[in-house]
Copies of this chain bind each other. A is one copy, B any other.
Amino acid sequence: MGKDRKIDMVILGLLSHEDLTGYDIKKQIDEAIGFFWKGSFGSIYPALSDMEKNGFIKKLPDKNSSGREKIKYRITKQGKEVLADWLKDEQASNDLKYETLLKLYFGGAEKKEVSIHNIELFEKQIKSDLQILKFYQSNLEKVLDNKEHVHYYLTVTFGIDTYEAYLKWCSKAKKLLNEKC
């Protein structure tokens, strides 16, 4: 297939756990993996129809006969193989784009107050996101006997650990800017 769109893997991964609609998938991306991955409807729906054509997923018959359309998808055996191949593939690209760091790197061109303010904006965002992650973590802690939950727990923990490192750095950085500039 060659094509290795990451959004495909995200969708297959989510569907390997339960049947979902495109709308559900969007919600789960935003909520569960939003701190390290993004996805929009404009990428999800085309990916769903491509993967259905390829036989990686299939449409479930719409049970509720109301006028409202709602298409649930289920992963197929072939789809599970694609997911497994990707999981076992050693290649993994971790692409970061920190505009905050970019502004800090080039911040020498402006007064230190500008950089300090940018750090404070970042700090505020991280503090708020950290609360959400801690909430998820405390819920997951209760159900660590489930293999899948252990995996979810670990990614949330990654977020918490790195966010806490960010916050420590923010304090240090502001201090240094005040002392040295």
Closest to A110 in B: B87
A41 to chain B, nearest CB (A): 18
Q: A87-B103, A101-B155 are in contact. Are A144 and B16 (CB under 8 A)?
A: no
Residues A169 and B158 in contact, CB atoms below 8 Å apart: yes
How many copies of this chain are found per oligomer? 2
Question: Are B87 and A106 closer than 8 Å at their CB atoms?
Answer: yes
**Interface set, chain A 72-109, CB cutoff 8 A to B:** 80, 83-84, 86-88, 90, 92-109
Q: Flag if B13 contacts A109 (CB, 8 Å).
A: yes
Q: Are B155 and A105 in contact (CB under 8 A)?
A: yes
Evaluate contact between A92 and B99: CB separation under 8 angstroms: yes
Bound state CA distance, A101 and B65, in angstroms? 39
Out of B92, B97, B108, B180, name the residue touching A95 (CB < 8 Å). Answer: B97
CB of A118 within 8 A of chain B? Answer: yes
Is the Cβ of A83 less than 8 Å from the Cβ of B106? yes
Residue A162, interface by CB 8 Å: yes
Give chain B nearest CB distance to A7 CB in angstroms: 11
Chain B residues lying within 8 Å of A16, measured Cβ to Cβ, are 106, 109
A residues contacting B by CB (< 8 A) are 6, 9-10, 13, 16-17, 32-33, 35-38, 80, 83-84, 86-88, 90, 92-110, 112, 114-115, 117-118, 121-122, 144-145, 147-148, 150-155, 157-158, 161-162, 164-166, 168-169, 172-173, 176-177, 180-181
- Interchain CB contact under 8 A, B13 and A121: no
A108:B181 contact, CB within 8 angstroms: no
Distance of A154 from chain B, by nearest CB (Å): 5
Q: How far is it, in angstroms, between the C-alpha of A150 and the C-alpha of B109 when the chains are bound?
A: 12
Show 19 residue pairs from A and B whose CB-CB distance is below 8 angstroms, ordered by the A residue. Answer: A9-B102, A13-B105, A17-B108, A32-B105, A35-B96, A36-B101, A36-B102, A37-B101, A38-B95, A84-B109, A87-B118, A94-B98, A147-B180, A150-B181, A153-B176, A157-B169, A158-B169, A161-B165, A161-B168
